[in-house]
Amino acid sequence: MKNKAIYPRTVSGNGKGARKSIGRPHLRLFAACLIGVTIVGILWWNLTGAQATVSTSDKEEVIATVDGESIVEQELQWQMKKLRSHTDGNLAMKTNLTDNREQALKASIQLKAQLLEAKRRGIVESVRYADFVSKWQSEQSRRKDAALSNGVVYGPIQVEEEQYYDFFVSDILAKLRDDMLAEKPFAQEDIAAYYNEHLAQYKKPNRLQTNMFVVAFGNDVTKDAAFRTAQAIADGLKRGEEAEKLLQVNSSKKVVLQQRAFNEQTAKQDTMNGTQVWRSVQTLREADVSNPIEENGSYYIFQCLALEDTGFLPLEKASAGINIVLMEAEFPRMTERWVKASTIELKSSTKQAE
């Protein structure tokens, strides 16, 4: 059927009610508009469809309270899902629903105690799950409106409730730790004790000048053959043979020799390229020769020509990082103290479930 039979129109002014078909340019414009309206309609349906699955946590059963603040079933289910994700390969843990609920309830109580501490410090206004759901819905609406108006939306247009709760909780707990760190809770003696106990972690990279042999494998050189060549070079260097002589002996085996420096300027790129070479080189002393090191499709052999020991990062520069490490270690103990200081009530149905 032709277009003029589908899209007729009356042309005024001829007195005869004559009909004339839409011209091709107009038809293309009409079709484009129709497609655009359809796409917007589909997008609107997809964006608003999420609202049909909104949580009804206000109507859910309260399974426990911490200082009067409720823990609802959906919070427990979120914790149970996290437990399942951490029990891969543990079939007994996966199948024991009672144990899962018991551990999830304990984790839910601990989290509520943490959130209540954040509330006391003014970091968050409410710790009710229903209020979180309202925030999530508002964020969904904001993303939907931004997408429909060609605004900027970071990440997916639609964020699942559980994913947004992960972000919500992580953000609040990070702010809680930062707030406590601002109070400088750790004595200088504790920071210094940690520094001295873990001094090796604060070793600054040595400055080295080396001979570096590279023996690549793949294509026409097998891995085994490359290793034998690399081992022969390492053994020759350890016997005191000259690097240039060893290069000539192995010239037909795609061996590369170059001088290679390791220092503060090269450290970032060195660790990005691979950590095995970096760690091995940092253990060398002057005149040492490394064993073959496999990395990035090649074997590497290093002969240390010169070494400068740069010492350790000073305590005053290491203190900020040590405070964070100490806080991560102390935070669970702080949480237990908050839980013990709280009034916890378990509902009867929860006790029966356990």
- Please give the backbone phi and psi of residue 260, each rounded to the nearest 5 degrees, phi first: -135, 125
Going by C-beta distance under 8 Å and a sequence separation of 6 or more, which residues neighbour residue 201?
A: none
Q: Which amino acid is at 55?
A: S
Most confident of the following: 58-67, 177-186, 265-274:
177-186
Task: Give the chain's mean pLDDT.
Answer: 81
Flag whether the pTM goes above 0.75: no
Angle at 70 between CA 67 and CA 76, to 5 degrees: 120
| 118-177 residue pLDDT tens | 999 999 999 999 999 999 998 888 888 888 888 887 878 888 888 899 999 999 999 999
Phi and psi (nearest 5°) for 277?
Answer: -60, -45
Element (H, E) at 315: helix 315-340
Residue 68, judged by CB atoms within 10 A of its CB (0-12, 13-18, 19+), counts as exposed
CA 133, CA 130: separation in Å to the nearest integer? Answer: 5
Q: What does DSSP say about strands 69-72 and 62-66: parallel, antiparallel, or unpaired?
A: antiparallel
Q: Which structure tokens are listed for 79?
A: 């914790």
Residue 296 has pLDDT above 80, yes or no: yes
Which strand ranges, in their side-by-side order, compose the sheet holding 62-66? 69-72, 62-66, 344-346
Distance in angstroms (rounded) separating the CA atoms of residues 192 and 278: 28
